[in-house]
Chains A and B, each alone.
Chain A
Amino acid sequence: MTALIALFWRDLRRAWGSGALWLPVLFFLLVATAFPFAVGPDAPLLRRAGGGMVWVAALLAALLPIDRLVRPDKEAGVLDQLAVRGLADEVIAAVKIAAHAIGFGLPLLIALLPASALLAQDGGRVELLATGIAIAIPALASLAVLSAALTANHKGGSAIGGLLILPLAVPMLIFGAGMLDPSGRGAVKLLAAVSLLLTVIGPFAAGAALRGLRE
């Protein structure tokens, strides 16, 4: 257990200490800033389309850190050293997912507030967006670590990772944006179900991918 806690804090330190964390958050805010310029200062239109835009921006922001999640540890021999110590690849993947969910998810939720203001979202919609993204963050982290593990042998793997993660994240996008629709009452349950499924599958799939990196 001590080893897992040490690994968790190391991943979190590397996320927050390297500055790499701020890139996706800045990207998220930049998209939110650029969108009103693209569609014009039409508040009702921004209000209608802005919620979906927040979801798209959050999803794309989740793709940005893929390159630093697994590949540096693979190249530095950290994954081999953990495996030699008998830590299961699935457990390593689960710890990485947890660290990424917190390291990336918390700042994203904080950045959601100014982004929502830029996109003319009112209090009720901000609450729905925050709830939906909070539900989706473990699944997004899971998909990001899985993509990172699958592409760790390829430089510039985040581009391939994006192709992998996007189709799998589409159901979350649909149900997450659906929560904003007054008629979409069941969307939150479906979003939670999809997020739970991806979060549970993630460590096993990413663990298998980590094992494959050694062969």
Chain B
Amino acid sequence: MSELLRLDEVACIRGDRLLFENLSLTLNRGEALWLRGPNGAGKSSLIRLAAGLLRPAAGMVERRERVALIDEASALDAELPLRRALDFWARVDTVDGHTVDRAMDEMALAPLAEVPVEMLSTGQRKRAAMVRVIASGAPIWLLDEPANGMDDAAQARLVAAIARNRANGGAVLLASHFALDVPDLAELNMGALV
């Protein structure tokens, strides 16, 4: 199994509070890990550490491939139609329009292509963020509460997208306060770390 993401003896301090320490984990190709735990347990901080957005107070984070991230913000220009907002990230990721079209189909967002982002519901914005992740082609997916606001059908599409990424040799680190129906999902209970 080839390694995509490795956290070695990592510690995270936010403000004056130690969230966790001596945390080590490895994500290989095809694997998925569910970070669970109560609010404030450090799930989002661990995702941001893995993404390189936070520096660990101790330890080391190693990413062997490109990373795609979903967090609480959609990073889509609110005033633009959805498709144009996604096109910006397609240009940044140097992927073509067909890739975005396919990703929009996967998340059933094609009918909303011309709707301004600011008019989308929370669940639709999460699906749009998933389109950004899928279209980016990055193998390492870091998903922080990706299913928030999603209905059952959208959650099923999310689970299918995760399965496809794993089947294509990607890996998924998933923070969620509720369980998603993802097969072969390893678990890490963040609430038990400190």
What residues of chain A have their CB less than 8 Å away from a CB belonging to chain B?
A: 2-3, 5-7, 10, 14, 17-18, 75-78, 80-86, 214-215
Query: Given A77-B72, A80-B75, are A6 and B53 also a contact pair (CB < 8 Å)?
Result: no
- Minimum CB–CB distance from A79 to chain B (whole Å) comes to 9
B93 touches which one: A7, A17, A85 (CB < 8 A)? Answer: A85
State whether the Cβ of B88 lies closer than 8 Å to any Cβ in chain A: yes
Chain B residues with Cβ below 8 Å from A85 are 66, 92-93
Binary CB contact string for chain B from 46 to 60 against chain A (1 if under 8 A, 0 otherwise): 001001111100000
Please tell me if the beta carbons of A80 and B92 are within 8 angstroms of each other in the complex.
Answer: no
B91 contacts partner chain A, Cβ-Cβ < 8 Å: yes
Chain A nearest CB, measured from B76 CB (Å): 7
Residues in A whose Cβ lies below 8 Å from that of B68: 84
Q: Are B78 and A76 in contact (CB under 8 A)?
A: yes
Q: Are B69 and A81 in contact (CB under 8 A)?
A: yes
The prevalent SS among residues of A at the interface is: helix
The CA of A81 and the CA of B89, in the complex, are separated in Å by 9
Please tell me if B105 contacts chain A, counting CB pairs below 8 Å.
no
Q: Could you tell me the distance in whole angstroms from the C-beta of A81 to the nearest C-beta in chain B? A: 4
Size of the chain B interface, CB-CB below 8 angstroms: 26
Besides A3-B94, A85-B93, 5 new A-B residue pairs in contact (Cβ under 8 A), listed by A number: A76-B78, A81-B75, A84-B52, A84-B53, A85-B92
B66-97 vs A, Cβ < 8 Å mask (1 yes, 0 no): 11110111111111000000001101111000
Query: Which listed residue (B53, B66, B92) contacts A214, Cβ 8 A?
Result: B53
Distance in angstroms from A107 CB to nearest chain B CB is 20
A-B contacts at CB below 8 angstroms, number: 58
* Contact across chains for B69 and A6 when beta carbons are under 8 A apart: no
Residues B75 and A215 in contact, CB atoms below 8 Å apart = no
The answer for the CA separation of A78 and B77 in the assembled complex, in Å, is: 9
| B-side interface mostly | loop
Complex: A80 Cα to B69 Cα, angstroms: 9
B: residues with CB less than 8 A from A are 48, 51-55, 66-69, 71-79, 88-89, 91-94, 132
**B54 cross-chain contacts in A, Cβ below 8 A:** 214-215
CB distance from B34 to the nearest CB of A (A): 21
List 23 interface pairs A-B (beta carbons < 8 Å), by A numbering. Answer: A2-B92, A3-B91, A3-B92, A5-B91, A6-B91, A76-B73, A76-B75, A76-B76, A76-B77, A76-B78, A77-B72, A78-B75, A80-B69, A80-B71, A80-B73, A81-B75, A81-B89, A83-B53, A84-B51, A84-B52, A84-B53, A85-B92, A214-B48
Indicate the member of A14, A78, A81 with the most B CB atoms within 10 Å. Answer: A81
| Contact (Cβ within 8 A) B74 A76 | yes
Expressed in whole angstroms, the Cα–Cα distance for A75 and B77 within the complex equals 11
Tell me how far the C-beta of A114 lies from the nearest C-beta in chain B, rounded to whole angstroms. 30
For B90, give the chain A residue with the smallest CB separation.
Answer: A6
* A84/B67 in contact, CB under 8 A: yes
Q: Which residues of B contact A6 (CB under 8 A)?
A: 88, 91-92
Known contacts A214-B53, A214-B54, A215-B54; A82 and B92 CB within 8 A of each other = yes
The residue from A7, A14, A77, A215 contacting B92, defined by CB atoms under 8 A apart: A7
A58 to B21, CA, bound (A): 52
Tell me whether B74 and A77 are in contact (CB under 8 A). Answer: yes
Question: Nearest B residue to A1 by beta-carbon distance?
Answer: B94
Q: Are A80 and B53 in contact (CB under 8 A)?
A: yes
B91 CB contact (under 8 Å) in A2, A14, A76, A83: A2
